[in-house]
Amino acid sequence: MTMVDPGTDVSPTPQAGPAAPAVVRRGRGPRPPRAPRQPRPAPQGAGAVIGTASTMLTLVSVWAVLQLLVLGGLAHDRTQSLLYSDFRVQLAETTAPLGPRIPVGDPVAIMTIPALGVEEVVVEGTASGDLLAGPGHQRGTPLPGQRGFSVVMARAATYGAPFADLGKLRRGDDIEVLTSQGRKVLDVIGVRREGDPVPAFPDPAAAVITLVSAEGEGPLSALTPDTTVYVDAVTSEAFPTPAGYGGAAPAAEQPLARDSSAMPLLALWLALLVGLSVLVVLARQRWSAGLVWIVAGPVAIALAWQSTDTAMRLMPNLL
């Protein structure tokens, strides 16, 4: 019989169970690098030509409409400001033109129509390109305020539209002109349309001025003129008229006339636009579209501006 020492612990030894699985924490390793994004292939062949041509056509068309309706007015205001400064200097230095041989485009008078809120510098010439700057004096007629019959035309809808409300003038309204000879105030005697009888002016010493613009009908009447409106004004105290006036104005300077001589210049601007389109197609083969249009965009806008101004000369001068 085995004796047990009283100081010995005889409690049963617990059996060790299965070992708990060790938790192994693994750190996140570096993500595998993404495959580099392949650059979008540049358009080739017919797709490149069609895409670039469509972009160029859209750019030119939008710019032309914007220039016709908005930017043309801003260009007119800037041109008028320059003409006004130039003409005031000429008046102060007594070098303002007296007639009859005045270079086309030169300022000849300042016209004020209080009833319409109009104050414009009148330039020599009434062709479509001349009227982009403002009202034009028809060559062959005396300057406003001189003895005889003077004719001044201006646009009704575009490039500032100085005579947009010409038909609203009434008998007795004033038209004031300032020329190298001084200031004259003429009284409106009436408004007439194409086909109406021309009033008689029995006083041979009077100064008569006829303002001419266009009118139309329908929702786009301003851009589709189909008739001419005239306003006649007179004063019995006229300035002397230098010798040499007379003769008919060129066909391109008649009311609602078009200047066909602008066709070669328009063809040049359009050819430059086509050439720019070709250069854009070639550049797209090597550089991104954004970079190409950053460089080509301003050039395209400049060519579109010149093309629109030239195209306006092929349209009716009173538009």
User: What type of residue is 241?
Assistant: T
Which pLDDT value is given to residue 1?
A: 44
Question: Average pLDDT of the chain?
Answer: 85
Residue 218 lies in a domain: yes
Question: Mapping DSSP to helix (H, G, I), strand (E, B) and coil, where does residue 253 land?
Answer: helix
Global pTM value: 0.79
- Domain hosting 133: range is 64-260
Which pLDDT value is given to residue 29?
A: 57
Name the pLDDT band for 301 (thresholds 50, 70, 90): confident
Tokens in use for 129? 């390109």
Which pLDDT value is given to residue 44?
A: 54
Residue 157 lies in a domain: yes
**Cis? peptide before 100, omega within 30° of 0:** yes
Which one has a higher pLDDT value, 1 or 191?
A: 191
Name the pLDDT band for 131 (thresholds 50, 70, 90): very high
Question: Mapping DSSP to helix (H, G, I), strand (E, B) and coil, where does residue 197 land?
Answer: coil
Tokens in use for 49? 């030509």
Residue 54 lies in a domain: no
Cα gap 233→144, rounded to integer Å: 10
Q: What are phi and psi of 126, to 5 degrees?
A: -130, 15
Which one has a higher pLDDT value, 246 or 87?
A: 87
CB 128 within 8 A of CB 252: yes
Name the pLDDT band for 4 (thresholds 50, 70, 90): very low
Lowest-pLDDT choice from 29-33, 59-63, 236-240, 314-318: 29-33
Residue 273 lies in a domain: no
Residue 318 lies in a domain: no
Which of 18-27, 61-70, 170-179, 248-257 has maximum average pLDDT?
A: 170-179
Compute the chain's Rg from CA coordinates. Answer: 39
User: Residue 137 is part of a domain; what is its CATH number?
Assistant: 2.40.260.10
Please tell me the total count of domains within the chain. Answer: 1
Average pLDDT, integer, range 37-48: 56
Compute the residue count for the chain: 319
Residue 76 lies in a domain: yes
**Helices 263-284 + 289-312 axis angle, to 10:** 170
Residue 177 lies in a domain: yes
Cα gap 41→61, rounded to integer Å: 28
Lowest-pLDDT choice from 127-131, 154-158, 169-173, 280-284: 280-284
Q: What long-range pairs does 298-301 form, CB within 8 A, spacing at least 24? A: 300/56, 300/59, 300/60, 300/273, 300/276, 301/59, 301/63
Lowest-pLDDT choice from 124-138, 182-196, 276-290: 276-290
Alpha carbon 190 to its chain's center: 33
Which pLDDT value is given to residue 109?
A: 97
CA nearest to 96, candidates 131, 143, 140, 147: 143
Which pLDDT value is given to residue 159?
A: 92
Residue 4 lies in a domain: no
For the chain, strand residue ranges (E) read 107-113, 118-124, 136-137, 148-153, 174-179, 182-193, 207-216, 225-235
